[in-house]
Amino acid sequence: MSHTRKLLLCAACANELSKAGDGSLSALQTGFVTPINSNIDVLITGVGIFQTVYHLTRVLSEYEYETVLTAGIAGDYNPDRPLCQLFSVQKTMFADCGFETVNGGFAPVAGSKFLDGNLPPFQSGYIINDMANTIALPMATVNTVNRTCTEPNHVAKLLKRFPADLETMESAAMSYVCAMRHVPHAEIRCTSNHIVPKKQEKWLLEDALCKLGTYVDTILKDFY
């Protein structure tokens, strides 16, 4: 290990950290570790499962951290819930990694004959963030997907199979890598959009980023 730090702060893209601190984190490049101080490093993993797995695994192989914290935005499955809400991710799964069946059903890999759904780090197909309850936010279940979709029938089928609060493209990848590396992991997400948007509804991206950045700053104070 080249060095040991208290915290590795991760985000899928630099824009998700653009409202934290003095705003300089918005200029970070994907895949590079950037120190904030002697206790905290920042990693931009890239959007999606494959980039997240590669860059986070590489960094955790080279460096040692007491904790990994993921921060980012998310889509909300509940069309009646106000946006710009903060959540602590309690559990997540790879919701579209699996097999379509002949009758139009879907069988996830975790829980199939190819992968025991209770083989660590999975619990009934989910990965649990054990640090979720250490963050004073409502806890959420998250579906991690390779493809986002706003088509109502598709979303309804997904939620029937895997009920969840939020949707992201990285959460399960973050949780999986940290669990396999035995590094404590927590994740906070701020909702910027509804998965099935209301008529002419727009993303509240800037508002969500501001709220996320303010909360990230309060957490980072504990690691300075």
As a whole number, the mean pLDDT across the chain is 92
Both tokens of residue 98?
């699996």
pLDDT confidence of residue 10: 98
DSSP one-letter code for 11 = E
The Cα–Cα gap between 31 and 205 comes to: 23
Question: How much of the chain, in percent, has pLDDT values that exceed 70?
Answer: 99
Phi, psi of 221 (to 5 degrees): -60, -30
pLDDT band at 6 (very low <50, low <70, confident <90, very high): very high
Q: How many CB atoms sit inside 10 A of residue 72's CB?
A: 27
Domain of 130 in residue numbering reads as 4-223
DSSP one-letter code for 19 = T
Among candidate residues 94, 109, 80, the one with its CA nearest the CA of residue 158: 94
Among candidate residues 140, 156, 153, 5, the one with its CA nearest the CA of residue 73: 140
Among candidate residues 45, 78, 31, 81, the one with its CA nearest the CA of residue 171: 45
**Arithmetic mean of pLDDT, 90-102:** 89
pTM exceeding the 0.85 threshold for the entire prediction? yes
Total structural domains in the chain? 1
Residue 76 neighbours by CB under 8 Å, 6+ apart: 83, 85, 165, 166, 167, 191, 193, 194, 195
Give me the CATH number covering residue 46.
Answer: 3.40.50.1580
pLDDT confidence of residue 221: 87
The Cα–Cα gap between 207 and 160 comes to: 30
The label of the residue with tokens 């300089």 reads 24
Residue 168 neighbours by CB under 8 Å, 6+ apart: 72, 74, 75, 92, 142, 143, 144, 145, 189
pLDDT band at 93 (very low <50, low <70, confident <90, very high): very high
Residue, of 148 and 69, whose pLDDT is higher: 69
Residue, of 223 and 90, whose pLDDT is higher: 90
Highest mean pLDDT among 109-113, 122-126, 196-200: 122-126
Cβ atoms 94, 49 nearer than 8 A:
yes
Question: What confidence tens digit (pLDDT) does each residue in 114-143 have?
Answer: 788 888 999 989 999 989 999 999 999 999
What is the residue type of 198? K
Query: DSSP for 98-138?
Result: EEE-TTS-EEESBTBTTB-TTSTTEETTEEE-TTGGGSSS-
Is the pLDDT at 53 greater than 60? The verdict is: yes
pLDDT confidence of residue 1: 52
DSSP one-letter code for 200 = T
